[in-house]
Amino acid sequence: MSKYAVINPATGETVTEYPTATDAEIAAAVDAAHAAARGWARSSTREERAALIARVADLHRERRQELAEIIVREMGKPIGDALGEVDFSADIYQYYADNGPALLADEPVDLAEGSEGSAVIRKSALGVLLGIMPWNFPYYQVARFAGPNLVLGNTVILKHAAQCPASAEAIQRIFLDAGFPEGAYVNVYATNEQVGTIIADPRVAGISLTGSERAGAAVAEQAGRHLKKVVLELGGSDPFIVLSTDDMDATVEMAVNARIDNSGQSCNAPKRFIVAADLYDEFLEKFVAKMSEVGPGDPMAGEAAYGPLSSAAAADNLHDQVQRAVAGGARVLTGGTREGTFFSATVLANVQKGNAAYYEEFFGPVAQVFAAADEDEAVELANDTPFGLGSYLFTTDPEQAERVADRIDAGMVYVNCVLADSPELPFGGVKNSGSGRELGTLGIDEFVNKKMIRIA
């Protein structure tokens, strides 16, 4: 079987297979991207490229249903979530179409007193970029990388996840239909060895990867060997801290919705629920009850709270994690079972430091719950993780919100809200969650030459 194949996780059916690229096809992809970077990207204006990205947004909206159904078959995303992902991707492209040129405007530098003349920082493209994208958000991950960089004038070689060849093909077709020339955006069905060849090519200026810690470390090592800029968005085990609330039912509902979103397969989903001791029993009772009520179902039907995990391998891994957590002393308060690729919503308690699960990321609908004696212990628990992607804080005290947000070791803090990502909000983390930022004003500022021009 080909490395690139659509295998419907809900049924196990192999829908379509795609041939892996030959070495000659990889070389041709780099040639095309380099030619586009030296030709089209230099001759076109930011405004012209922004207009093309606006057309990409329009095509996502026009092909909304088709695009959504593709990823339901590829990775089991419920159809409602899949439609939402296509919409969000269109919004990201539209954001950079509307704002990209202004974000790239020259920045005047105030010269020291007595200096004559002027100085500006001028932002320009680096050239060819390689994007390595994961399966959990097949359109959104590409949008937040490709959108800003194509407006900037970089060109893109995109290596998608092996289980997302159909969505990868659909995205490339959109860029071509929008009017981008050959080479501006090139999809490749590459092997890991071929990815190494692309990274080593001196014409490739940078690499953006969203994926696992292991993949990030491997790519960063190769990029470092060849002095290439990297942006890494890796795993997360985000805390959901409840210090006070005036509506426990609403807080619990947000906790459940955030944990089962995308069938629990989101890097920045809350996974560790840390609750003040005086609220813990009430929260736990309601949280376990709500998690017990939700369940997976047919992702194409649009009725289930969540769908299957993305593959049999993903289900095997999550089941093994839960079993090892229990063997280490954790208690299953609800769930913990699987049927094929479908996994029940699960709550684990009594996960202690000596348990390997304490430091692991659970990529599925599995939550860990902890009681904290006070604010200090809550922050200590929240930060006691190798990850630092997102975080969630619930409190009715504005001063506490500011104070605790400052103390959390993470790239993002959401206060009294979940599922609040938006194109203008920068996304990224610290520690083992990676480096660099995507989206917002910072997302267009990563793969850029900030050239200083001083005129006397």
- Give pLDDT tens digits for 137-195: 999 999 999 999 999 999 999 999 999 999 999 999 999 999 999 999 999 999 999 99
Q: Is the pLDDT of residue 1 over 70?
A: no
Q: Is 233 a catalytic residue?
A: yes
How far is it, in rounded angstroms, from Cα 379 to Cα 371? 12
273-306 pLDDT per residue, tens: 999 999 999 999 999 999 999 989 999 987 778 9
Residue 178 near residue 17, CB atoms below 8 Å: no
Angle between helices 375-383 and 398-407 (to 10 degrees): 30
Say which residues have a Cβ less than 8 Å from residue 231's Cβ, sequence separation at least 6. 206, 207, 208, 209, 428, 434, 435, 436, 437, 438, 446, 447
69-88 pLDDT per residue, tens: 999 999 999 999 999 999 99
Q: Is the pLDDT of residue 262 over 70?
A: yes
Domain 4-234+433-455 - what CATH class?
alpha beta
How far is it, in rounded angstroms, from Cα 60 to Cα 53? 11
Q: What is the value of pTM for the model shown?
A: 0.97
- φ/ψ of residue 117, rounded to 5: 95, -150
Give 23-69 as a DSSP string: HHHHHHHHHHHHHHHHTHHHHS-HHHHHHHHHHHHHHHHHTHHHHHH
Q: What pLDDT, on the 0 to 100 scale, is given for residue 90? A: 98
Q: Is 417 a catalytic residue?
A: no
Q: Which H/E stretch holds residue 79?
A: helix 79-103
397-407 pLDDT per residue, tens: 999 999 999 99
Q: Are strands 448-455 and 118-125 parallel, antiparallel or unpaired?
A: antiparallel
Across residues 364-386, what is the average pLDDT? 98
DSSP H helix total and E strand total for the chain: 15, 22
Across residues 270-275, what is the average pLDDT? 98
Residue 71 near residue 77, CB atoms below 8 Å: yes
Q: Which H/E stretch holds residue 431?
A: strand 430-431
Q: Which of 267, 361, 375, 438 is catalytic?
A: 267
Instruction: State whether CATH 3.40.309.10 applies to domain 238-422.
Output: yes
Say which residues have a Cβ less than 8 Å from residue 385's Cβ, sequence separation at least 6. 237, 239, 272, 359, 431
Task: Name the residue among 207, 191, 82 with its Cα closest to residue 136.
Answer: 82
239-253 pLDDT per residue, tens: 999 999 999 999 999
Q: What pLDDT, on the 0 to 100 scale, is given for residue 2? A: 66
Q: What pLDDT, on the 0 to 100 scale, is given for residue 227? A: 97
Q: Which of 74, 85, 233, 375 is catalytic?
A: 233
In the chain, where are the structural domains located? Answer: 4-234+433-455, 238-422
Across residues 364-388, what is the average pLDDT? 98
Average pLDDT of the chain to the nearest whole number? 97
306-353 pLDDT per residue, tens: 999 999 999 999 999 999 999 999 999 999 999 999 999 999 999 999
How far is it, in rounded angstroms, from Cα 67 to Cα 82? 8
